[in-house]
Amino acid sequence: KVLDASTLSFGTRLRWFAICFVAGIVCSVLGTALLWLPKGIKLFAVFYTLGNIAALASTCFLMGPLKQLKAMFESKRLIATVVMLVNMLSLL
């Protein structure tokens, strides 16, 4: 199963979760710090979006990508998911 994170060991999934989560935080903080530079709004958009993508990827390692997508697109989360994805795409 290519798209199933359960084929990875728990230690591997936990390690990649931590790597992606920390990378997401670093990118988001870096994007916020770059906001005050000239043309910093573009850098902010890129780094903040990359941070959000990395944070989403981190939970894919714990839950698995299919379970993650099913949870994101449940009826109670659908509007929030669509708004988040549209805004992330519009920033780039």
Which residue in this structure is represented by tokens 């509007």?
79
Give the other-Cβ count within 10 Å of 23's Cβ: 17
**What b/e readout covers 32-59, taking b as 16+ CB neighbours within 10 angstroms?**
eebeeeeeeeebbbbbbbbbbebbbbbb
Q: Name the CA dihedral angle for 87, 68, 79, 50, rounded to a multiple of 10 degrees.
A: -10
**pTM for the structure as a whole:** 0.79
Q: What is the pLDDT of residues 4-45, one digit of tens each?
A: 546 788 889 999 999 999 999 999 999 999 998 988 988 998
What's residue 71's pLDDT?
92
pLDDT at position 64 over 90: no
